[in-house]
């Protein structure tokens, strides 16, 4: 007798196809220096860095419920660490990026201890205060140019690669690598035991706490890890810009407002959301950027409408309509045919 | 004597910060909403004042007669049209919607008024001063402080002595039961936001007379107001005034030590108080 059996799985046809397509796309992107022009590569590099920032912000806000409007603190911190470590420490820029991440984590610990005292929306503004403190402090460091900033010396730029195209390729790959590392890290984290705790906190903090999840510790870990990775992305951003100033490094518009719009439009609380959001953001930017301030107002209106009418973003709409998930995260019950008797 | 002067000037500056903070404190108290666009509304108030004074050729303080009701109306419409939809659920949606509003407002002001710094002309009031022993006090800072005290006293009176205030407190305590008692929560929230933006209009005009402003300064004003609220303790209006004064004094003393330290000193005092007294100095409600 044929017996219907059920099993629980994370993967589905869609996730397998998505994984295959993902690998093909990644291979294509790795090969970009051989098929893309200089301007395209620069645009793609920027896109990857925003993708990394958006995925990190999404991990914090969408999963850990830590809505920060002060992530520019770590972007700027990472950028300044890159400059300080290469200019005064004599480190190779790529090594400096890694060290910037470690330092970002170290500084995030006391910051978290302080601002975790604030709840909800006040936490958000507290993060902004921290970013302001960072900005004003770095503006006081005269050896890094004070308020007017400084440029990366030519010798350090040349140490990346002697030729201009070599440098461009390297910084493109670094940007691509950072986006891949961040998305992979977020994905693996969410699949882990901690990730399960985090998802539980996202869905219901009270229930998660009563089941024995240490909410404070879980959020703390997410905050510190996010800070470290954000600092590394920040170092990369300013390795591409080659110039840093307090206002550019700690800009709330560039490193937080855009990132929030990307995540909200794409779909908060999903891995796919920031990816879709980044694509939409760059599409809008490339077509509407000439409009300047109007473009930013349109972006604000779109974000508000999405937040009110479709709080799960565009990916949320797609997912609820087609029950689609590209990253195998949630568990599904599947029918499986088996010949084994009961 | 220089230090006494710094403290007195800082105290008066604190009046302005208390005006920044009062609206923020009010809407948090009534509906647990934190308006990220609050600073941009202060700047909007300043620009509306600028337009009214240039078009009608009147004194900025007289412009209050137009700007205050105008901002109150904007507040009521905003609350009933948009913000009420965000309440009740998680924190994320009010936060992100007001964040979106902040970006829209900032860029709209940029589009209309350009990025050039502007200032309102209050004539002789700007430079007038009175001597008090060795101290010379500006009439404008004194007036600002007086207005801040009056505004907070008026808000306090509204809260504890009027029917509207009773409705505010009732919805703040328990929205569902207030609704059962026949209060329309949506209208009450609209009134709270109207009142908050009316106060914000006063803050904007006083800001615009005191210093030059441009569309990008809203974020900084939000932070000052927020720090005053947290230092003073959530839900305590007189505490907010004390918080503003502490922040103002910290900034003027910081500036006295080194001009580059003015803002940093304010933030550091805020963080220190947060570390020692996480609920502020005079807390009344828990967040």
List pLDDT tens digits, range B269-285.
999 998 888 888 887 65
Query: Is there a domain that residue B83 lies in?
Result: yes
Pairing of strands B129-132, A332-338: unpaired
A121 interaction partners in chain B (CB closer than 8 Å):
33-34, 36, 91, 94-95
Query: Is there a domain that residue B268 lies in?
Result: no
Query: Is there a domain that residue A1 lies in?
Result: no
Q: Tell me the mean pLDDT in the region A210-230.
A: 91
pLDDT at B287: 42
Q: Tell me the mean pLDDT in the region A151-173.
A: 84
Which positions 51-70 of A are in contact with B (Cβ < 8 Å)? Answer: 61, 65, 67, 69
Establish if B97 touches chain A: CB-CB under 8 angstroms.
Answer: yes
User: Which of B264, B283, B224 is CA-nearest to residue B17?
Assistant: B224
Query: Is there a domain that residue B104 lies in?
Result: yes
Query: Is there a domain that residue B235 lies in?
Result: no
CATH of the domain at A140: 1.10.3470
Query: Is there a domain that residue B186 lies in?
Result: yes
Which one of B33, B99, B227 has the shortest CB-CB distance to A69?
A: B99
pLDDT at B93: 85
The average confidence (pLDDT) of chain B is 90
Q: Which of A205-214, A333-342, B153-162, B200-209 has the lowest mean pLDDT?
A: A333-342
Q: Tell me the mean pLDDT in the region B136-147.
A: 92
Whole-model pTM: value is 0.90
pLDDT at B86: 86
Residue A339 pLDDT > 70: no
Query: Is there a domain that residue A3 lies in?
Result: no
d(CA B284, CA B287): 10
Q: Cβ–Cβ of B93/A124 closer than 8 Å? A: no
For residue A306, give how far its alpha carbon lies from the nearest alpha carbon of chain B (Å): 9
Question: CB neighbours of B77 closer than 8 A, spacing ≥ 6?
Answer: none
Q: Tell me the mean pLDDT in the region B127-138.
A: 84
Letter string b/e over residues A289-308, b meaning 16 or more CB atoms within 10 A of that residue's CB: eeeebebbbebbebbbebbb
In a mutational test of the A interface, the residue from B103, B104, B229 whose CB has the highest number of chain A CBs within 10 Å is B103
d(CA B32, CA B234): 10
Query: Is there a domain that residue B223 lies in?
Result: no
Nearest chain B residue to A269, by CA: B92
For residue A151, what is the enclosing H or E element?
strand A150-151
Q: Which of A36-40, A261-265, B11-15, B104-108 has the lowest mean pLDDT?
A: A36-40
Q: Which of A192-196, A288-292, B88-92 has the lowest mean pLDDT?
A: B88-92
Which positions 130-159 of A are in contact with B (Cβ < 8 Å)? Answer: 132-133, 136-137, 139-140
Share of chain B above pLDDT 70, in %: 98
- The model's confidence at residue B221, banded by pLDDT at 50, 70 and 90, is very high
Domain count, chain A: 1
Residue B253 pLDDT > 80: yes
Nearest chain B residue to A268, by CA: B92
A310 interaction partners in chain B (CB closer than 8 Å):
none
Q: Which domain covers residue B141, as residue numbers?
A: 2-126+136-217
Query: Is there a domain that residue B194 lies in?
Result: yes
pLDDT at A98: 94
pLDDT at A122: 80
Establish if A300 touches chain B: CB-CB under 8 angstroms.
Answer: yes
The average confidence (pLDDT) of chain A is 87
Query: Is there a domain that residue B240 lies in?
Result: no
Q: Which domain covers residue A155, as residue numbers?
A: 9-333
Pairing of strands B129-132, B135-138: antiparallel
Summarised one tens digit per residue, pLDDT across range B7-62 is: 999 999 999 999 999 999 898 888 888 889 999 999 999 999 999 999 999 999 99
For residue B134, give how far its alpha carbon lies from the nearest alpha carbon of chain A (Å): 34
Query: Is there a domain that residue A342 lies in?
Result: no
User: Which of B250, B36, B226, B209 is CA-nearest to residue B125?
Assistant: B209
Residue A49 pLDDT > 80: yes
- The model's confidence at residue B202, banded by pLDDT at 50, 70 and 90, is very high
Summarised one tens digit per residue, pLDDT across range A197-217 is: 888 888 888 888 888 888 899
Residue B286 pLDDT > 50: no
Summarised one tens digit per residue, pLDDT across range A63-118 is: 888 889 899 999 999 999 999 999 998 889 899 999 999 999 999 999 999 999 88
pLDDT at A305: 93
Residue A3 pLDDT > 70: no
Question: CB neighbours of B246 closer than 8 A, spacing ≥ 6?
Answer: B14, B228, B231, B269, B273, B281
pLDDT at A4: 66
Q: Cβ–Cβ of B103/A300 closer than 8 Å? A: yes
Residue A314 pLDDT > 70: yes
Q: What is the DSSP string of chain B?
A: -HHHHHHHHHHHHHHHHHHHHHHHHHHHHHH----TTHHHHHHHHHHHHHHHHHHH---HHHHHHHHHHHHHHHHHHHHHHTGGGGTTS-SHHHHHHHHHHHHHHHHHHHHHH-SS-B----GGGGT-EEEETTEEEEHHHHHHHHHHHHHHHHHHHHHHHSHHHHHHHHHHH-HHHHHHTT--HHHHHHHHHHHHHHHHHHHHHHHHHHS-B-GGGHHHHHHHHHHHHHHH-TT-HHHHHHHHHHHHHHHHHHHHH-GGGHHHHHHHHHHHHHHH-TT-SS--S--
pLDDT at B225: 94
Summarised one tens digit per residue, pLDDT across range A244-280 is: 999 999 988 889 989 999 999 999 888 899 999 999 9
Summarised one tens digit per residue, pLDDT across range B61-100 is: 999 999 999 999 999 999 999 998 888 767 788 888 999 9
Q: Tell me the mean pLDDT in the region A296-306.
A: 90
- The model's confidence at residue A341, banded by pLDDT at 50, 70 and 90, is very low
For residue B232, give how far its alpha carbon lies from the nearest alpha carbon of chain A (Å): 14
pLDDT at B125: 84
Contact A127, A142 (CB under 8 A): no
pLDDT at A337: 57
pLDDT at A342: 43
Domain count, chain B: 1
């Amino acid at each position: 007798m044929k017996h219907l059996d059920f099993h629980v799985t994370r993967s589905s046809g869609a996730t397998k196809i998505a994984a295959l397509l993902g690998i093909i796309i990644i291979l294509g992107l790795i090969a970009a220096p051989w098929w893309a022009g200089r301007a395209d590569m620069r645009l793609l590099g920027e896109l990857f860095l925003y993708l990394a920032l958006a995925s990190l912000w999404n991990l914090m806000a969408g999963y850990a419920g830590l809505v920060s409007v002060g992530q520019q603190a770590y972007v700027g911190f990472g950028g300044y660490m890159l400059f300080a470590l290469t200019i005064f420490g004599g480190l190779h820029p790529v090594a400096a990026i890694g060290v910037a991440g470690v330092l970002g984590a170290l500084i995030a610990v006391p910051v978290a201890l302080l601002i975790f005292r604030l709840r909800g929306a006040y936490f958000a503004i507290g993060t902004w205060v921290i970013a302001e403190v960072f900005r004003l402090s770095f503006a006081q460091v005269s050896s890094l140019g004070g308020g007017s900033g400084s440029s990366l010396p030519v010798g350090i730029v040349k140490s990346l690669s002697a030729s201009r195209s070599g440098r461009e390729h390297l910084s493109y790959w670094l940007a691509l690598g950072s986006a891949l590392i961040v998305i992979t890290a977020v994905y693996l984290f969410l699949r882990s035991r901690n990730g399960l705790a985090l998802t539980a906190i996202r869905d219901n903090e009270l229930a998660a706490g009563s089941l024995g999840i240490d909410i404070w510790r879980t959020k703390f870990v997410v905050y510190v890890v996010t800070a470290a990775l954000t600092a590394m992305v920040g170092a990369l951003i300013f390795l591409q810009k080659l110039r840093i100033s307090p206002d550019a490094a700690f800009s709330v518009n560039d490193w937080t407002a855009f990132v929030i719009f990307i995540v909200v439009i794409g779909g908060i609380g999903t891995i796919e959301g920031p990816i879709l959001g980044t694509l939409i953001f760059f599409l809008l930017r490339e077509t509407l950027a000439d409009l300047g301030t109007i473009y930013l107002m349109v972006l604000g209106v779109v974000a508000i409408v999405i937040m009110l009418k479709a709080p799960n973003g565009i990916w949320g709409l797609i997912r609820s309509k087609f029950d689609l998930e590209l990253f195998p995260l949630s568990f599904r019950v599947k029918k499986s045919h088996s010949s084994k008797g009961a | 004597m220089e230090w006494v002067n710094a403290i007195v000037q800082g105290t008066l500056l604190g009046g302005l910060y208390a005006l920044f903070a009062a609206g923020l404190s009010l809407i948090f108290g009534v509906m647990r909403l934190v308006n990220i666009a609050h600073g941009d509304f202060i700047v909007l108030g300043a620009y509306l004042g600028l337009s009214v004074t240039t078009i009608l050729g009147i004194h900025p303080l007289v412009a209050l007669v137009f700007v205050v009701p105008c901002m109150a109306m904007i507040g009521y419409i905003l609350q009933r049209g948009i913000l009420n939809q965000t309440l009740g659920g998680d924190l994320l949606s009010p936060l992100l919607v007001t964040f979106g509003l902040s970006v829209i407002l900032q860029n709209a002001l940029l589009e209309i008024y350009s990025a050039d710094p502007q200032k309102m002309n209050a004539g002789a009031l700007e430079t007038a001063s009175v001597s008090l022993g060795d101290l010379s006090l500006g009439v404008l800072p004194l007036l600002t402080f007086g207005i801040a005290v009056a505004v907070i006293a008026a808000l306090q009176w509204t809260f504890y002595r009027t029917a509207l205030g009773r409705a505010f407190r009732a919805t703040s305590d328990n929205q569902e039961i207030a609704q059962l008692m026949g209060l329309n929560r949506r209208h009450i929230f609209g009134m709270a936001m109207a009142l908050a933006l009316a106060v914000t209009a006063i803050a904007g005009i006083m800001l615009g007379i005191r210093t030059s402003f441009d569309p990008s300064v809203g974020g900084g004003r939000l932070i000052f107001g927020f720090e005053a609220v947290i230092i003073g303790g959530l839900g305590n209006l007189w505490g907010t005034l004390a918080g503003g004064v502490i922040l103002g004094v910290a900034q003027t003393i910081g500036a006295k030590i080194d001009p580059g330290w003015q803002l940093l000193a304010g933030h550091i005092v805020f963080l220190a108080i947060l570390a020692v007294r996480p609920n502020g100095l005079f807390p009344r409600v828990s967040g």
